[in-house]
Amino acid sequence: MILEQFLKNRDPQSLLRKMISIPSFSGLEGDRCLFLYEFIRNLFINYNVNLIRIGNNLVLDYVVNKNFRTLMLNSHIDTVKPVNGYTFDPFNPNFNDSIIRGLGSNDAGASVVSMVYAMLFLVESNFKSFNIRLILSAEEETSGKNGIDTAIKAVGEADAAIVGEPTEMKAAIAERGLLVLDCLAKGKSGHAARGDGVNAIYIALDDIAYLRDLQLESLYNGSIPVNISVNIINAGVAHNVTPDECKFVVDIRTTGEVTNSHIFNILTQKLKSQIYPRNLDNKASFTPSDHPLLSALRRCSIDTFVSSTTSDWMRLNIPAIKMGPGESIRSHSADEFVTVDELYDAIKIYVKYIKELTI
Domains of the chain: 3-176+284-356 (3.40.630.10), 177-277 (3.30.70.360)
Q: Please report the pLDDT score of residue 217 as a whole number.
A: 47
The structure's pTM equals: 0.85
Q: What is the mean pLDDT of the chain?
A: 94
pLDDT band at 215; cut points 50, 70, 90: low
* pLDDT over 80 (residue 138): yes
Q: Please report the pLDDT score of residue 276 as a whole number.
A: 97
pLDDT single digits (tens) 179-211:
999 999 999 999 988 888 999 999 999 999 999
Q: How many CB atoms lie within 10 A of CB 279?
A: 15
Q: Which helix (H) or strand (E) holds 100?
A: strand 99-101
* pLDDT over 90 (residue 143): no
Helix, strand, or coil (residue 134): strand
Q: Please report the pLDDT score of residue 218 as a whole number.
A: 46
Of 92-101, 180-189, 260-269, which gets the smallest average pLDDT? 260-269
pLDDT single digits (tens) 24-64:
999 999 999 999 999 999 999 999 999 999 999 999 999 99
| Backbone torsion region of residue 134, taken as left when φ is above 0, otherwise alpha when ψ lies between -120 and 50, otherwise beta | beta
Which residues neighbour 185 within 8 Å (Cβ) at sequence distance 6 or greater? 200, 201, 203, 204, 207, 235, 245, 246, 247, 248, 272, 273, 274
Q: Please report the pLDDT score of residue 42 as a whole number.
A: 97
Q: Please report the pLDDT score of residue 216 as a whole number.
A: 47
Q: Please report the pLDDT score of residue 195 as a whole number.
A: 84
Closest CA to 35 of 50, 22, 16: 22
Q: How far apart are CA 95 and CA 199, in angstroms?
A: 53
pLDDT band at 225; cut points 50, 70, 90: low
Q: In what order do the strands lie in the sheet with 245-254?
A: 227-235, 245-254, 177-186, 274-277
Helix, strand, or coil (residue 218): strand
Helix, strand, coil proportions of the chain in percent (round to 5)?
35, 25, 40
How large is the average pLDDT for residues 74-101?
A: 97
Q: Please report the pLDDT score of residue 258 as a whole number.
A: 75
pLDDT band at 301; cut points 50, 70, 90: very high
- Of 128 and 258, the structure prediction assigns the larger pLDDT to 128
From the CA atom positions of the chain, what is the Rg in Å?
A: 23
Torsion from C-alpha of 83, 87, 93, 99, nearest 10 degrees = -100
Helix, strand, or coil (residue 213): helix
> What letter would DSSP give residue 109?
I
pLDDT band at 165; cut points 50, 70, 90: very high
